């Protein structure tokens, strides 16, 4: 009497549960009794739409005022960025070899990124101004070295001085960012001590 299970499973069709007649209707009626459908009030729909419009307008206004408030450009930062762009016509160290071009591009991109990320608020303005004046002096030195490179020709001393100048400017900006972080942490610590 042994039967092959594979053969039985091929012929097997599952049967769904058998419900009594009218079961579905009774269930729908119970559901309707438990959760009656409310009539949609058209004024309530208009209130939802009006609230959404007001919320959107408030968010747009706040975003607009905050965005416009931070678009002021610090003149000294703009001058420092302009000094980077004011390469006089002639050769630069990037024109001498592809490797030197990579080095020059790396440092100039780093300097521009650091300048762009400086906070433009009035806090610590004296500190930022001092660093930017030093950066301006280094920019003038860099331009003088470029003039020397064009007049005298490429020498090892001039190329090294140009790369060191770029490196020094980037390090100066990193020091400024670290000093600003330290001052902010100090302010936060003093604020928390005042709260305690």
pLDDT in tens, 59-112: 887 877 776 554 455 555 555 555 555 444 577 877 888 888 888 888 888 888
User: Of 29 and 45, which is predicted with more confidence?
Assistant: 29
- Whole-angstrom Cα Rg for the chain: 36
pTM of model > 0.75: no
Nearest Cα neighbor of 93 from 181, 171, 159 is 159
C-alpha distances in angstroms, 9 versus 3, 12, 13, 138?
Answer: 11, 5, 8, 86
For residue range 26-38, list pLDDT tens digits in order.
Answer: 988 888 888 877 6
Residue 91: CB atoms within 10 Å: 12
C-alpha distances in angstroms, 61 versus 48, 50, 66, 71, 178?
Answer: 20, 16, 9, 16, 34
pLDDT for 137 equals 92
pLDDT for 7 equals 81
Please state the rounded mean pLDDT for residues 34-57. 77
């Amino acid at each position: 009497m042994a039967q092959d299970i594979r053969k039985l499973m091929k012929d097997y069709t599952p049967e769904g549960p058998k419900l009594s007649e009218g079961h579905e209707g009774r269930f729908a009626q119970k559901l309707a009794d438990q959760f009656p459908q409310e009539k949609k009030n058209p004024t309530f729909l208009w209130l939802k739409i009006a609230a959404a419009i007001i919320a959107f307008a408030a968010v747009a206004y706040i975003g607009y005022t905050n965005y416009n408030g931070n678009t002021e450009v610090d003149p000294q930062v703009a001058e420092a960025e302009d000094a980077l762009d004011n390469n006089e016509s002639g050769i630069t160290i990037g024109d001498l070899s592809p490797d030197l071009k990579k080095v020059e591009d790396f440092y100039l991109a780093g300097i521009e990124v650091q300048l762009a990320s400086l906070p433009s608020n009035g806090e610590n303005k004296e500190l930022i101004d001092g660093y930017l004046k030093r950066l301006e002096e280094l920019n003038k030195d860099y331009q003088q070295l470029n003039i020397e490179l064009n007049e005298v020709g490429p020498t090892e001393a001039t190329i090294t001085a140009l790369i060191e100048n770029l490196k020094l400017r980037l390090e100066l900006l990193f020091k400024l960012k670290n000093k600003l972080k330290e001052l902010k942490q100090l302010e936060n610590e003093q604020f928390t001590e005042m709260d305690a």
